[in-house]
Amino acid sequence: MSDIILNVQQLHKDYVGEVNYKALKGIDFQLKRNEFVSVMGPSGSGKTTFLNCISTIDRPTNGSMTINQKDPYELNDEDLAKFRRSELGFVFQDFNLVHTLTVEENILLPLTLDAVNGKEMTSRLAEVVKFLGIEEIMKKRTFEISGGQKQRVAIARAVIHQPSLLLADEPTGNLDSKAANSVMTLFQSIHETFQTSLLMVTHDPYVASFAERVIFMQDGMLYNEIQKGDHKQQFYQEIVDTLTFLGGGYHEL
């Protein structure tokens, strides 16, 4: 098995419309197995487009991309949906929970679509729920729980089928700092416990500092990357410095 889980080469994305816009201008990126990487950059730098291309929500205009040596863009719609369900896990800023379902049903959704048998469903559910500490809210509806809880549920849904790659788009964007901190701690422990590779887009340097490596984007290109050293505080400072240099509206406190 290769050591690289995600391999992106010369990824381009153009938006054609009244005004043509090149969102991604050739990105080369590799994510190692069991690596935690944050993507940062000012607004409009293309980080969400980048993530959307990887998550197969957006189709890139040019370039190649493989996840686990498989090119998802060669798959038809049905296989692609299956691929998403089995290989990828998603966590979104707006949680993206199905509000007609209960919390429990939301978490089970990927498994029901794959017609996993009931016994396995129950055992996997129990495992995930225990890990995330959301036992009490299982029978509740999505609008009866708080934002932090919603994101926990979304994370539970994203990891219940043990994806090889977990993608997160501003997972703390809608949360207060306390909830954000607990969600990030959770990500870290998922990363450590389940050996899941993680790619996360964020604009918050504190959140980004939970990762092992941070890549910076500007104008649709990769600009820089920083590896985490021994000290989280120092890592955080480096991230803030780079952002200030990029001029995305970040100022030193």
Instruction: State the residues that interact with another protein by CB under 8 A.
Output: 55, 57, 77-78, 80-85, 88, 90, 92, 96-102, 105, 108-113, 115, 118, 121, 141-143, 157-158
Contact (CB, 8 A) for 52 and 15: no
For 31-69, the three-class secondary structure string (H helix, E strand, C coil) is: EECCCEEEEECCCCCCHHHHHHHHCCCCCCCEEEEEECC
Contact (CB, 8 A) for 158 and 150: no
Tokens of residue 198, six digits: 């993680």
Residue 14 to residue 10: CA distance in whole angstroms:
13
Which three-class secondary structure state does DSSP give residue 148?
helix
Nearest in space to 166 (alpha carbons), one of 199, 213, 193: 199
Kind and range of the H or E element at 232? Answer: helix 232-246
Tokens of residue 188, six digits: 């870290």
- The CA-CA-CA angle for residues 175, 178, 183, to 5°, reads 65
In order of 86, 206, 210, 236, 238, the CA distances from 231 in angstroms are: 35, 13, 11, 9, 11
